[in-house]
Amino acid sequence: MAQILVVAEHDNQTLAKATLHAVTAAQALGDVTLLVAGSGAGSVAEAAAAVGGVAKVVHVDDALYENAVAEDLAALVVAMADGYEGFVAGSSSFGKNVMPRIAALLDIAQISDIVEVLDAKRFKRFIYAGNALATVETRDPKVVLTVRTTAFPAAPAEGGSASVETIQALAPTDLAKFVGRDVSESERPDLTSARVVVSGGRGMGSGENFAILEALADQLGAAVGASRAAVDAGFVPNEYQVGQTGKIVAPELYIAVGISGAIQHLAGMKDSKVIVAINKDEEAPIFQVADYGLVGDLFQLVPELTEAVKRP
Amino acid sequence: MKLLVPIKRVVDYNVRVRVKADGSGVDTSNVKMSMNPFDEIAVEEAIRLKEKGTASEIVAVSIGEAKAQETLRTAMAMGADRSIHVATSAATDTELQPLEVAKLLKAVVERENPDLVLMGKQAIDDDSNQTAQMLAALLGWPQGTFASKIEPSEGGLNVTREVDAGLETVALKLPAIVSVDLRLNEPRYASLPNIMKAKKKPIDQLTPEELGVDTAPRLTYVKVEEPPKREAGIRVDDVPTLVEKLKSEAGVM
């Protein structure tokens, strides 16, 4: 069996959901080892050992890895690379940041954001904002992959009983230092794993108007997203962005409000199970992918919808 | 501070691309080509750093067929001082891949000795999001990816990064590689006088052979196909009908 190293994403307390999806993709390639590099992240290592299908956990506990600084994390993975044929992480901002650095240091061509594992050398991924689906075959002896989390089910968080091996930290590379983080606190579910997503586009008109989407989202237990146009216009922060250059989501229900449906946005949400579009322009391309389209004034329809779904 | 800005010529953002019938790739003949949008943001940021007096010289570099020079002229019309064109006939969306591009750029960096390389986080053709990180790795330099703010500091740079949960700031030593994200700035349009001036700015020509880089692709695009199509659904007349359909028909409420 090939040995596959999945680089775990976490905040020193909780294992990220993206990692569970990456584990599923990695299992198609071989035995999975999860690397948990963190600071005071013992609970993450325990959680990693309990993930179904994980054969082994390698745990490094050192202040150097507290914030997953790419320079030091990549150096660590490269130092332990000999025993592994594959290196995998979720295609989150964490995976996108660190995996190409690992790939280049190992002189391996990374395959980004895979949606299917065909065999040990062949993978499927989208190019051109989801307008083409490519089958890519590597000639390298090893693979470095990032995994589109919506394309692989999450590995079960419970049921595994992997052994945990502790290893030593490396000397600091001293190239980059973590300074700080500004995380938006929200009671709402995470955009990439929410069951329902309510997204707004340029048609929202302003950031203040997103309040009506938030009211709907609260009733539905939904996350709030946005199109690139809405982020570009400064209505909402970038972490709301759904699309080619933002987040990829595939909830059970996606409600697109005031979003025209540019291909770059569709690339991020067209695998949703059910899509609802609300737009005043009946020619908007979003209606070509929507299961249910409602033409009209969103400022009237959204509050009406919020009332209609109000929990008793 | 000397800046190097790698830019890529790609199918324009607004073009709806077509997959070739033989499954060999995407049809890029006779379609509008433009500078990759994230690279425009990198060029703009470089110009702003020069306008502030932080940067002294901006060198744009592009790898690709002869027409990549048009894209370099655009960068120079915006404000880059001079350019380097690395000529290759490989298809830059599938045959010339991030690892080889990073190796070519490393060789250019070693000739030019910039203090900072500013580049787009992702090209909108192959959507790989790798080259900046790979270049940083090959040079042993720090990386500030997905930047929404770049602030020079004592002996280095503070880079604010767009991450999934919000924003994160890292302090990088120079020299460094920074990949830029959407909100960093809004690129300017080149003025007509600047477009005329750009025609006189120099473009140095190089080849992968001169740079000593093997650009043979490691990845083969075995097949490129149309993605599964999503069928359009129905129009509903009002909110009560929508809610009813979501409950009974779709079962998602």
Please provide the DSSP assignment of A56-71 as one string: EEEEEE-GGGTT--HH
Which of B105, B128, B214, B237 to mutate to probe the A interface, most A CBs <10 Å? B128
Q: How confident is the model at residue A312 (pLDDT cuts 50, 70, 90)?
A: low
Q: Is B233 helix (H, G, I), strand (E, B) or coil?
A: coil
Q: Which residues of A touch B227 (CB under 8 A)?
A: 126, 130-133
- Tell me if B126 and A127 make a contact (CB, 8 A cut-off): yes
User: Strand B116-120 and strand B166-173: pairing?
Assistant: unpaired
pTM summary value = 0.95
- For the segment B179-196, the average pLDDT, to the nearest whole number, is 95
Domains of chain B, CATH where assigned = 2-250 (3.40.50.620)
User: Strand A111-117 and strand A143-147: pairing?
Assistant: parallel
- Tell whether the model's pLDDT for residue B230 goes beyond 90: no
- Tell me if A128 and B230 make a contact (CB, 8 A cut-off): no
Q: How confident is the model at residue B155 (pLDDT cuts 50, 70, 90)?
A: confident
Quote the tokens at residue B132: 């900046």
Min Cα separation B95/chain A (Å):
11
Which of A21, A78, A101, A311 to mutate to probe the B interface, most B CBs <10 Å? A101
User: Average pLDDT over chain B, rounded to whole?
Assistant: 96
Measured CA angle at A100 (ends A94, A106), to 5 deg: 130
- Interface predicted TM-score (ipTM): 0.96
Min Cα separation A6/chain B (Å):
18
Shortest CB distance from A181 goes to which of B16, B124, B166? B166
- For the segment A119-133, the average pLDDT, to the nearest whole number, is 96
Which is nearest to A250 in space by CA: A292, A194, A181? A194
How would you label A79-113 residue by residue, b for 16+ Cβ within 10 Å and e otherwise? eebeebbbbbbbbbbbbbbbbbbbbbbbebbbbbb
User: Which residues, 6+ apart, have CB-to-CB distance to A211 below 8 Å?
Assistant: none
CB < 8 Å from A in window 33-52 of B: 38
Which is nearest to A55 in space by CA: A160, A157, A165? A160
User: What is the number of CB-based contacts under 8 A between chain A and chain B?
Assistant: 262
Q: What is the pLDDT of residues A19-54, one digit of tens each?
A: 999 999 999 999 999 999 999 999 999 999 999 999
Q: Which residues of B touch A274 (CB under 8 A)?
A: 246, 250, 252
Q: What is the pLDDT of residue B253?
A: 82
